[in-house]
Amino acid sequence: MRVPLALSLSLLLPAALGAGDGDWAAPAEERDKPNPVAAAPDAISKGRALYQRHCASCHGNGGKGDGPAAGFGADIPDDLTDPARQDRLTDGEIFWKLSTGLREGSEVVMPAFSRQIPSENDRWRIVAFLRTLRRTEAAPAP
């Protein structure tokens, strides 16, 4: 069975929104950008659909880094539900990472989605959806 090149690349190259957070920092002017798309239910719904289409293969349906393509690269995609990661990354930084992607030499760690998702508002909708994935810490038992 022949697999289309785009699909085979997406299976072989892990997506890691937070990969190398220390080394993969957005420029200050990008980090400071606020999300211009309100986190309304329709925006989040559209963001979820875009996430499922473009991100879930690596990051998993729930954002835990456990998508079907997660094990094919050297880096495992980060858990996007992690409260510490959610607190550390600004909306602008997530948008920048989603738009520009990450390369390490000739290896694509995370593809840049500015071409596949040309609408900036749609990329901002993904950011709004990602914020809904934040894991809440379980309350301690009484």
pTM equals 0.80
CB atoms within 10 A of CB 81: 19
Reading the block at residue 129, the tokens are 């959806």
Whole-angstrom distance, CA of residue 141 vs CA of residue 135: 18
Crossing angle between the packed helical segments 41-54 and 120-131, to the nearest 10 degrees: 100
Q: What pLDDT score was predicted for residue 19?
A: 45
pLDDT in tens, 98-135: 999 998 888 888 899 999 999 999 999 999 999 999 98
Tens digit of pLDDT for each residue in 46-70? 999 999 999 999 999 999 999 988 8
Residue 47: closest CA among 129, 113, 133: 129
CATH number of this structure's domain 25-131: 1.10.760.10
pLDDT in tens, 25-50: 999 999 999 999 999 999 999 999 99
